[in-house]
Amino acid sequence: MELQILDSKTKQKLCTLERISSNTTIDSIKEIYQRKFPNYYPERQSFKSSPKGKLLKGSETLSELNLGAEGVLYFKDLGPQVGWSTVFYCEYTGPLFVYLLFYFRLPYIYDSKFAFTSSPDDVVHLAAICHSFHYMKRVLETKFVHRFSHGTMPIKNLFRNCSYYWSFAAWMAYYINHPLYTPATFGTMQICSGLAVFVLCELGNLSIHLAFRSLRPSGSKQRKIPTATGNPFTLLFNFVSCPNYTYEFGSWVGFAVMTQTLPVFIFAFVGFGQMAIWALAKHRNYKKEFSNYPRSRKAILPIVL
């Protein structure tokens, strides 16, 4: 069959692919298209069966799309792409170093007389350890734990994501490490309580990431219903679809309680808002994909959301 490729915005004809089998997948179409237009590598391409339709999956075949006699696909350029592992490294190494600039009180951040001085409050040093641990953990998970179902994302999103993480790290660090910083109102009890929540949620988050990794063998796109393992932290799977987000939110709430700093509370709840959107989308997809998916589960907060 002949396959017409049109621009999804202008509807202009871009090319005609000849002698294409009806069993050809969208992934194969992308490879063929790249041979005609070398600048458009497969990760940069997307195809639709109608101008305003959904992006087609790479595994779908032309025969499954019911393209009719005309045989038309609509092409959209996703723009320059960057690998997800690169995205995560940039997102997470930035806050790690940005925070420490304030912790060591480099010149020109605070008054010059405070350059390279150290806070007398133990919680300030504890906060630096916890913050560094969180982002070092994320970097190591990117290297050794995460498996990415989507290989790339638009490079323009990298700058937006990095701005979010880096600027919040600077805002939090500025206040926590400020020479006039005042420790938690309820003293040691509040600090230790926040620290305990932080540590437990960090361990829980790691446990969930390891559980997700075990669901998908290396090199496979197989999907399974996530369930609790022998690790007690994974019991949260019995209540929510995305316990990794639940634990992530809990970590920052614990950090906020420990440091009693407004920017940390804001970061925790802004992050929760975005994670709730992701969790609800994943929850809906799970219910669509698996007919036997547990109906009692919520997306991110047990019973509530």
Return the minimum-mean-pLDDT range out of 10-24, 111-125, 167-181, 229-243: 10-24
Q: Do 71 and 120 share a domain, yes or no?
A: no
Angle at 24 (CA atoms; ends 23, 28), nearest 5 degrees: 160
Q: Do 7 and 73 share a domain, yes or no?
A: yes
Work out the mean pLDDT of the chain and round it to a whole number: 93
CATH assignment of the domain containing 43: 3.10.20.90
Residue 296 belongs to some domain of the structure: no
Per-residue pLDDT reduced to its tens digit, 178-202: 999 999 999 999 999 999 999 999 9
Q: Are 84 and 153 in contact (CB under 8 A)?
A: yes
Where in the sequence is the domain holding 38, given as residue range(s)?
3-79
Q: Are 60 and 16 in contact (CB under 8 A)?
A: no
Residue 254 belongs to some domain of the structure: yes
Q: Give CA–CA dist 301/305, Å, rounded.
A: 5
- Helix (H), strand (E) at residue 197: helix 187-215
Residue 150 belongs to some domain of the structure: yes
Give the SS3 label for residue 218.
Answer: coil
**Predicted confidence band at 150 (pLDDT cuts at 50, 70, 90)?**
low
Per-residue pLDDT reduced to its tens digit, 212-246: 988 876 656 667 899 999 899 999 999 999 999 99
Q: Are 191 and 258 in contact (CB under 8 A)?
A: yes
pLDDT (average), residues 87-115 = 95
pLDDT (average), residues 102-113 = 95
Beta-ladder partners of 234:
none
Q: Do 101 and 123 share a domain, yes or no?
A: yes
Per-residue pLDDT reduced to its tens digit, 38-68: 999 999 999 998 888 888 888 899 888 877 6
Q: Do 160 and 232 share a domain, yes or no?
A: yes
Residue 294 belongs to some domain of the structure: no
Count: domains in the chain: 2
Q: Please give the pLDDT value at position 113.
A: 94
Q: Please give the pLDDT value at position 183.
A: 95
Q: Please give the pLDDT value at position 63.
A: 87
pLDDT (average), residues 15-36 = 91
Residue 194 belongs to some domain of the structure: yes
Q: Do 61 and 95 share a domain, yes or no?
A: no
Residue whose token pair is 């405070």: 114
Residue 295 belongs to some domain of the structure: no
Angle at 272 (CA atoms; ends 268, 275), nearest 5 degrees: 135
Angle at 93 (CA atoms; ends 166, 269), nearest 5 degrees: 45
Nearest C-alpha neighbor of 249 from the set 134, 133, 170:
134
53, 79, 105: which is the final residue of a domain? 79
